[in-house]
Structure 1
Amino acid sequence: MSAPAEHSLLVVVPVYDHEHAIGTVVAGIRAAGLPCLLVDDGSHEGCAAVLRRLAGQSGVDLLRLACNQGKGGAMLAGFAEAARRGYSHVLQIDADGQHDTDELERFVALSKARPEAVVCGIPAYDATVPKIRLYGRYGTHVWVWINTLSLHLRDSMCGFRVYPLPPVLQVMAAEPIGRRMDFDTEILVRLYWRDIDVQHLATPVTYPRDGVSHFDVWRDNLRITGMHARLFVGMLRRAPRLLRRRLQGWP
């Protein structure tokens, strides 16, 4: 799968046992005319077999990780593979069917208009969203606002976004990044600290009735708590520069 020379975007989908939803997600990506890399994060054989079949379609490739590394680990592997193939941008979309693939064109268009920026989805929930998920996100929102000294990052947990690859690779080389459910928030904050622009797009999010979630309430909440603590320490070291940047008009 070759990439064009200019703004060249690869869709990376981290997958772990989402065999019932991933076919529809891939169909939407192909309908948008985008190349796709499925990162099989050590799925069991039922899902792995589905992914192998999907990878036989035009424009769909498969990278299999031998053991489960978590969503963040799968995305980090996808970034490295996208860079190896010469892409400039990665579009991340979840494998569980929560995101509307009809929105892909809007994300790509904004990324082409602002190639230096992260394009971050802002969930527009419908009635299917569990209330505990909806209100539970605000704890992370508040900590992100504290750790950036800004209200600019409106939602750091949405798994639908476009990344410019060069700054992501710089972060990967220089700093540890959470490899599980702490990934989405941590990488966005660290990119913001590095003066990477973040553009927002409201996008519908639906929770399928038979959807599969791999969020572990205890372990992942502990990881997220630890991530916020690490970021808080990092913010304290960066506070003078972050405040100076705000005075200069940075959002």
Structure 2
Amino acid sequence: MELTHQQRIELHGFNNLTKSLSFNMYDICYTKTKEEREAYIDYIDEQYNADRLTKILSNVSDIIGAHILNIAKQDYEPQGASVTILVSEGPVDDAKEEAFKESPGPAPTAVVGALDKSHITVHTYPEYHPDDGISTFRADIDVATCGEISPLKALNYMIQSFETDVMVIDYRVRGFTRDVSGHKLFIDHEINSIQNYIPDDVKDQYNMFDVNVYQENLFNTKCKLNQFDLDNYLFGYTKDTLSKKEQEEISHKLNKEMDEIFYGKNMS
């Protein structure tokens, strides 16, 4: 149900719908030796350390129109990092109408709206297969807002902030708010797919499919790169240093890893 600006003003009390966006990205790499694996982990820890992640989440906060109340960040040993930001209601102006349109958000320019009792978190998980040469970096970002604006407006920026081979994106609207007559509203904006918030040039790069439960306001989109170039997955060297057989074997391992993540199951 799409509400007019006047209908939104006439809600009874505060709009306390909770909108949660979970963005999981995966970067896959082939690391032939123990030294290469350790170098890859060091690279990821440097590239996505707590300070850089804090900057990314701060920009997300700007995009959804929030004020930062508190930041907690940590780099872990031997690897990984976490950042949690508490945010509160941001400024509101005429641009709030833009928050209800099914279109990609900025990358990044400010989008303003009313929200409160909200948080943004990120956790990173660099890891590698013990003996198969595959290294995988995963970052989980969660944006939870209470109020009118949807965290989906920050999705475009988040996609462009990471080197991503596979993405798993979940969006859910929880709770309800009431209009002045007491009628419950379980969602306050129209949505039929998370893909509506992803730019066309990004969608062209990925194979995507949705699993949506509309009656429960649950939306899921999975994305996997549709172009494969082995050079983009080798750490510290290029494919022309490998034999044809090695190229084929490594390509098979990498594609199998991405397929298993994309489909959520082990494949023989």
Bigger Rg over Cα: 2
Looking at both structures, which has the greater relative contact order when contacts are Cα pairs under 8 Å and sequence separation is at least 6?
2
TM-score by length of 1: 0.31
In terms of fraction of residues, the more strand-rich structure is 2
